[in-house]
Structures are given as C-alpha cells and as structure tokens.
Amino acid sequence: GAVVSQHPSWVICKSGTSVKIECRSLDFQATTMFWYRQFPKQSLMLMATSNEGSKATYEQGVEKDKFLINHASLTLSTLTVTSAHPEDSSFYICSARGLPLGAKNIQYFGAGTRLSVL
C-alpha cells in the first residue's frame, strides 16, 4: 500500500518561532496532498489542499499567511506554521490520495506531528 511519511512526529517551540512540517509520499507520486488539524477528542479538520506546482487551496477560516504550504515536488509537501503561538498547539496530519486514482477516494495519512508552542 501507499506510504506517507511525516516529520517531525513531535516538536516543541517557543512562541513567535516558525515550525516546518514535512510530508512525503514514499512509494508513489502525489499531485495532491492534504493538511489537517486535529484537537484532542475531535475530528480531522481540513486546513488546505496542497497542489504540486501551484498554490494551495485553503479552507474557509484558515490563515494563508499563518500556515504556509509548499508542494515543490510530486513527493513532498511542507506546512510551515509561522510565528507560532500557544493556540496553534495541535496535532497536524497530512494525507495523500492513493493510486490508482479511481472511484474510491482512499487517502493515506502520515503519522502526524504534535506541535506544542510554549
């Protein structure tokens, strides 16, 4: 099956610093990746759709300048949380749609990054 690697798995940073999270598709090419945010005991909330070679599409209410997404290659998307604050502390998860592209929209998820902002 498709494997998605996410790094780092856990990060602690000081308020005001920026944090970069990487999401890689290891054995397939992903023209589209997705970034989610998940608070404890809650569902996955889609933040943005990352498109290779073009700008990301952000969901309503998600600050583009706060959460920078870059999808420079077919196997790598990055999410940078800029000027992080304690309220940005959360579990961030990426996913990619698996191949072959068919009727089933199966997404493969990274292991997630737990961000704690002090």
Among 41, 54, 65, 100, binds other proteins (CB under 8 A): 41
Buried b (16+ CB within 10 A) or exposed e, 100-113: eeeeeeebbbbebb
Cβ of residue 96: shortest distance to other proteins, in angstroms?
A: 10
Whole-number Å distance between alpha carbons of 4 and 43: 20
Nearer residue to other proteins within complex by CB, 31 or 82: 31
- Site membership for other proteins, residue 99 (CB under 8 A): no
Site for other proteins in 13-32 (CB under 8 A): 32
Q: How far is CA 60 from CA 45, 57, 63, 64, in A?
A: 11, 10, 8, 10
Return the residue of 17, 42, 73, 116 that touches other proteins, per CB under 8 A. 42
Select 19 or 96, whichever has its Cβ closest to other proteins: 96
Q: Give one DSSP letter per residue of 52-69, joined into a string.
A: TTS--EEPTT--TTTEEE
Interaction residues for other proteins, span 44-73 (CB under 8 A)? 44-46, 49, 57
CB 105 to other proteins: min, Å: 4
Question: Segment near other proteins (CB under 8 A), from 13-21, 34-42, 66-74, 77-85?
Answer: 34-42
Q: How far apart are CA 60 and CA 29, in angstroms?
A: 27
